[in-house]
Structure 1
Amino acid sequence: MTELVLLALAGFVGGAMNALAGGGSFVTLPALIAAGVPSVAANTSSSVALYPAGAVSAWVYRGGLTRVCGVPLRPTLAVTLVGGLMGALLLLWTPSTIFDRVLPWLLLSATATLFFGPRLRTLVQRRFQASATLILSLQFMLGVYGGYFGGAVGLMMMSAWSLLDEADVKSLNPVKTLLVTAANTVAIICFAVAGAVDWGAAAALGTGAIIGGYGGAHLGRRLPAAVIRWATLIATAAITVAFFGRAYFTG
């Protein structure tokens, strides 16, 4: 019983983090592993558990949906769904040991992009034209990442978009939440069909995540953009340090 309560609390924190900035799996994945769930099953179960919270947050944010760097939402959503499907299949069919080594560097890139984004934006926009092809290709890769692992995928989306668009982090939150939920939709269907989910642990985690996601989304609509940006930076830095430790200094 105590274990289920702790999982629910971890879900609450993870759901709120995802709604505000992203990186909720930083809390939920270690909680599942600590509860005795094998790492691959913990990864899939975390995605399943956080899905309802993401859907609730997307519903709260529905009035703020906008284009992604000038690209209409429908094609962006479509490539995210296809990428999420491919990423989920990769997770089920290939070992994750190599990706565990690459992941911290991806997160470090996300942290640097968010931190230096305002300064790098002008340089990037001089060298690269933010065409629909570039945006959709980038979003497809982010969808693959979301389906395969998903850790901090929301943070990585906002990092990439911030280099190509003038919009602030707060205004990107609604569409980020929707697209993360889209990638997770096809992923969890694959995980469920493959029997790769610990449903008991996911249910406890998900219950807390729904409450946290709902509250976090409402809070995210009210907080100033600067507060959300700095919260995002702090969360990303913490996640990066933790995953470097997990990949290179444990086991």
Structure 2
Amino acid sequence: MPDSDLSADSDITQAWYNLITMYTQRTLTRPRDRLNALAGIAEQYHQYWPYSKYFASLWEHQLPGSLLWSNHRHGDYHRRPDICHAPSWSWASRDGRAGMDWCSMNNGMYCTVIHCNITPAKKVNPISKVEDGGILVLEAIIQQATWSTDKDGFRDLFTVTGAPLDQYGSESGQSNIGLAYSDAIEKQQDANVYVAFVGQNVKEQCAHGLVLVPATDQIANTEAYNYPVFHRVGSFEAPLYWSSFPETWLQSK
């Protein structure tokens, strides 16, 4: 692709991300209609990306980077809807603002999308509301971790269970490797989580990824797919100069 085309596509992609951030700041009378309300604009963007599939607000060709939408810096927390609007890996699965800056900042990817599929509520209009849930299969580095609210209560402190104390460690002997941000207010906040590394901002020497908990419902379970199945509950950033653990994990791939 010529440099001019690459530049144009980059501008269009950034415009899409900016649109999502602005759109998710607005309040709808019926939050479950978020994807329907966006469908007309998504159709216009589909003219630029005619060969890219649309998965509940995420474009296929922008994966896995577009998974890095986040609630960081905004603190716009809402209770997770009782009725599923979209898969947990889509920002449309919860209410409130979705920051997209990590999506375009990451210039190194740690994971690969193996398979992605959603079921539109109306087959005649695949760029609209979806049926409950969706499948996203990633080949990724996943590690166990714990998270807890920091002393100021502004955001979550991301720590590794059983890690030795270092200069950034807590008094409990856990090593602080980064910061995690909840996607929504959950009915039950799990302290024990998993983290999946998605991308890296090389300039800032920072890794980004997803905070996950094992799926426990009857639809998404390990036995059905022969691999671990998770729900997304947050995102994280891990400065590689804070601790040696992230880099050690990444080198183990």
Say yes or no: TM over 0.5: no
TM-score (norm 1): 0.24
Q: Which has the higher helix share?
A: 1
Which has the greater radius of gyration?
2
TM-score (norm 2): 0.24
Q: Which has the higher contact order (CA 8 A, sep 6+)?
A: 1
Q: Which has the higher strand share?
A: 2
